[in-house]
Chain A
Amino acid sequence: MASETQQPNRGEALSPERRRFMGRLCIALSTVAAVIVGIPVVGFILGPLIAPEPDVWRAVGAVDSFKPGETVKVKFLDPSPVAWAGVTAMTAAWLRRLESGDFVAFAVNCSHLGCPVRWLAQANLFMCPCHGGVYYADGDVAAGPPPRRLFNYPVRVRDGQVEILASAVPIE
């Protein structure tokens, strides 16, 4: 009919099967594109979990510089310092030299929520400023909310130097 012949050419319509296939193909291709971009992006962000840095021994002073029975703060570089970390690459521990001559290193972090505990030399106690946690000189809980004793770092003596194994922020 005349009316039919005057209709504009709308092109060849896709069959329902082909239309469904094309729709699925678009979704599949988009997914592939998202995955090949997403994997490296997520991998980069999760890098610290995928490739953790090793612990490192750090010298904190000559053996003779620590008196038996005393607890002092020692400062050292964390295990993975980078050039742009500045002062945040520094960390600390409470180092106690026992009467026997052995060394014990306590993390400065309260086992309650990680706040920095202070050593009160005259009271022979560690105290936490945040929520009032108290520890005895040997790191045992004396009072307050801490659920466990102070965390320890491994310590060794090498070539007359006391060394602490710089490791992760203690988190349980």
Chain B
Amino acid sequence: MIRKIFWQAVDAFEERTGLIKFFGDVMKHPVPPNTGWWYVFGSAVLVAFMMQVVTGIALATRYVASSGSAYDVLEFITYKAVLGNFLRGMHFFGASAMILLVGIHMIQVFLMGCYKYPREFNWVSGVMLLFITIAMGFTGQLLRWDQTAVWATVLAAEMLGRTPFIGAYLARFLLGGKTLGGATLSRFFAFHVFFLPAMIFALVALHLYLVIHDGISAPPVPGEKVNPKTYRAEYEKLLEERGVPFWPDAAWRDVVVAVGVVVTIVALAFFVGPPELGKPPNPSLLANDPAPDWYMLWYYAVLALLPRGMESVFMVAAPMAAIVFLLLVPVLWNKGERHPSRRPWAVAAVLVIVLSIAGFWIEGSIAPWSPKFDAQPLSAALVGTNSPPIVTGAQLFHDKGCEFCHMIDGQGGMRGPDLTDVAHRLSENDLRIKIANGGGNMPSFAGILTHDEFDNLVAFLESRVTIPRAQTSSAAGAAALAQSTSARAADARKP
């Protein structure tokens, strides 16, 4: 009886909506055979996005988009709310997964030539989704609204400010005023929660519609070229003769990978947790080292390593060029070979881009250009002598900021050369010239150091020679070192 009522209700629903047939047809639409595991990344991205929607809605039930309150709310969510820390972790790793999978999906589509006729517009919608996904990641980092988020916002405004003619307006639009303040966070919240997701929903709908309309591209075969005049007929023939229903013949792999993605995100959220909250978002607190989340770290490194004076051009022109180039890809190469073995330039381009990003990413995670402000004065053991000029010079090496950029025996910054054995490389005169004049990434200390300070610092650096540990640790070795370096320091003071 109940079963009969149920099926009657289903029939009534279907008779009025047609949705069951519609989705049934979509799920069972024929796809080319042997699509394999390379075709799972699109659905994996979709699942990551769905996780973001679900966890994002849950977080939004507690979040307060007020510049003055958001940090307190985040502390509450992280440390007090039931499962709040776990949910933040899922949202963070979901975002990371989405960005990573979008990149992999794009590389797969490019290498397999899936963007060629008739799927050019799907590539275009994918490119737009890529950039909106990155924008979602960036605005999401800002909603963390700690000190790093505040300075990252200023950094973004400065970058936008480099745009010719309208830069100042764009920066002010981003900040919601002339300074960071009450309007800033609610602006990011509106973009992150309403505007950008609405665009993603619309573009995902278009993307999926085009997948159904044009069909999933068959795995590429060397020698089988795309010819727009004959492609449709050949594709129809392939589906007719060898096509398999999407569900479940091809979809089972998507489901396996999607579940793997979900389990990985949940596991990372559970075992690793979300990024630590930084200090409160007070722009008058200056002891901060702002850095973007991992997926933009490579770009942060590029900005540090660009030749001086190139930033303005690069910050504006490079993203524009990247967008235009990606949009032009299917216009320029929409026919011909699809298999990567017949497209060596395409493979080389992907390799160069991926390796470059990986290289910059590693460099960005080390950030050797950042001064090491927390470097401690060199210990007596590292100084290796009691000689007054050298001991004073070692203290000056720290106090004058040299140690923030130069390393000695593994201690100090990496901005400048390692000075562990600088006395082997530079004569006393070279040292004096370098310290006085600076150059490149080093300031001139001529107007900063007194005459005595200069002498002591040079004496210390002149004592930096590579000596076996056993010798430096012994009293005799230390005394010998002190004697030789004292003599050098005394010589240095002679007119």
Q: In the complex where A82-B183, A88-B181, A92-B286 touch, is A48 in contact with B438 (Cβ < 8 A)?
A: no
Q: In the complex where A48-B172, A49-B172, A79-B178 touch, is A84 in contact with B67 (Cβ < 8 A)?
A: yes
Contact of B448 among A91, A123, A171 (CB under 8 A): A123
Contact of A118 among B68, B283, B287, B400 (CB under 8 A): B287
Residues of chain B contacted by A124 (CB below 8 angstroms): 448
Encoded as 1 (CB less than 8 Å from any B CB) or 0, chain A from 148 to 160 comes to 0000000000000
B311 & A112 in contact (Cβ 8 Å cutoff): yes
A136 & B68 in contact (Cβ 8 Å cutoff): no
B173 & A131 in contact (Cβ 8 Å cutoff): no
A82 & B181 in contact (Cβ 8 Å cutoff): yes
B369 & A113 in contact (Cβ 8 Å cutoff): no
B183 & A48 in contact (Cβ 8 Å cutoff): yes
A88 & B67 in contact (Cβ 8 Å cutoff): yes
Kindly state the separation between the CA atoms of A26 and B291 in the bound complex, as whole angstroms: 51
With CB as the reference atom, state the residue of chain A lying closest to B306: A145
A interface residue count range (under 10 / 10 to 19 / 20 to 34 / 35 or more)? 35 or more
Kindly state the separation between the CA atoms of A20 and B404 in the bound complex, as whole angstroms: 75
A129 & B373 in contact (Cβ 8 Å cutoff): yes
With CB as the reference atom, state the residue of chain A lying closest to B368: A132
A32 to chain B, nearest CB (A): 24
Provide the main secondary structure of the chain B interface.
Answer: loop
Kindly state the separation between the CA atoms of A41 and B304 in the bound complex, as whole angstroms: 39
Residues of chain A contacted by B400 (CB below 8 angstroms): 122-123
A58 to chain B, nearest CB (A): 12
Let me know if B308 is at the binding interface, CB within 8 A. yes
Residues of chain B contacted by A79 (CB below 8 angstroms): 178-179
Kindly state the separation between the CA atoms of A110 and B304 in the bound complex, as whole angstroms: 13
Kindly state the separation between the CA atoms of A117 and B404 in the bound complex, as whole angstroms: 14
Let me know if B495 is at the binding interface, CB within 8 A. no
Contact of B67 among A86, A130, A172 (CB under 8 A): A86
Residues of chain B contacted by A171 (CB below 8 angstroms): 157-158, 161, 167-168, 171
Let me know if B429 is at the binding interface, CB within 8 A. no
A115 & B67 in contact (Cβ 8 Å cutoff): no
Residues of chain A contacted by B177 (CB below 8 angstroms): 48, 52-53, 80
Let me know if A59 is at the binding interface, CB within 8 A. no
Contact of A85 among B181, B280, B370, B399 (CB under 8 A): B181
With CB as the reference atom, state the residue of chain B lying closest to A48: B177
A146 to chain B, nearest CB (A): 9
Encoded as 1 (CB less than 8 Å from any A CB) or 0, chain B from 422 to 448 comes to 000000000000000010111110011
Let me know if A139 is at the binding interface, CB within 8 A. no
Encoded as 1 (CB less than 8 Å from any B CB) or 0, chain A from 121 to 146 comes to 01111011111101010000011110
Residues of chain A contacted by B68 (CB below 8 angstroms): 83-89
B182 & A84 in contact (Cβ 8 Å cutoff): yes
Encoded as 1 (CB less than 8 Å from any B CB) or 0, chain A from 57 to 80 comes to 000000000000000010100111
B151 & A91 in contact (Cβ 8 Å cutoff): no
With CB as the reference atom, state the residue of chain B lying closest to A120: B401
Let me know if B154 is at the binding interface, CB within 8 A. yes
Q: In the complex where A132-B370, A169-B180 touch, is A113 in contact with B155 (Cβ < 8 A)?
A: yes
Residues of chain B contacted by A134 (CB below 8 angstroms): 441, 443
Kindly state the separation between the CA atoms of A144 and B159 in the bound complex, as whole angstroms: 17
Let me know if A38 is at the binding interface, CB within 8 A. no
Which of A88, A109, A145 lies at the interface centre, i.e. has the most chain B CB atoms within 10 A of its CB? A88
A132 & B157 in contact (Cβ 8 Å cutoff): no
A52 & B172 in contact (Cβ 8 Å cutoff): yes
B284 & A75 in contact (Cβ 8 Å cutoff): yes
Q: In the complex where A48-B177, A147-B312 touch, is A125 in contact with B286 (Cβ < 8 A)?
A: no
Contact of B289 among A82, A85, A87, A129 (CB under 8 A): A129
Kindly state the separation between the CA atoms of A171 and B155 in the bound complex, as whole angstroms: 10
Let me know if A22 is at the binding interface, CB within 8 A. no
A132 & B304 in contact (Cβ 8 Å cutoff): yes
B290 & A88 in contact (Cβ 8 Å cutoff): no
Contact of B304 among A118, A145, A168 (CB under 8 A): A145
Q: A109-B154, A114-B151, A129-B288 are in contact. List 19 more A-B contacts (CB 8 A).
A: A48-B178, A78-B179, A78-B180, A85-B67, A85-B181, A87-B282, A88-B185, A114-B154, A114-B155, A115-B151, A116-B151, A118-B287, A120-B401, A130-B291, A144-B441, A145-B304, A147-B312, A168-B179, A171-B171
Q: Which residues of B contact A (CB under 8 A)?
A: 66-69, 71, 150-151, 154-155, 157-159, 161-162, 167-169, 171-173, 175-185, 280-284, 286-291, 303-304, 306, 308-309, 311-312, 369-371, 373, 399-401, 404-405, 415, 438, 440-444, 447-448
Can you show 15 pairs from A to B with CB atoms below 8 A apart? Answer: A48-B177, A80-B181, A85-B181, A87-B280, A87-B282, A89-B181, A90-B282, A92-B283, A114-B155, A114-B158, A130-B289, A132-B369, A143-B441, A145-B308, A172-B162
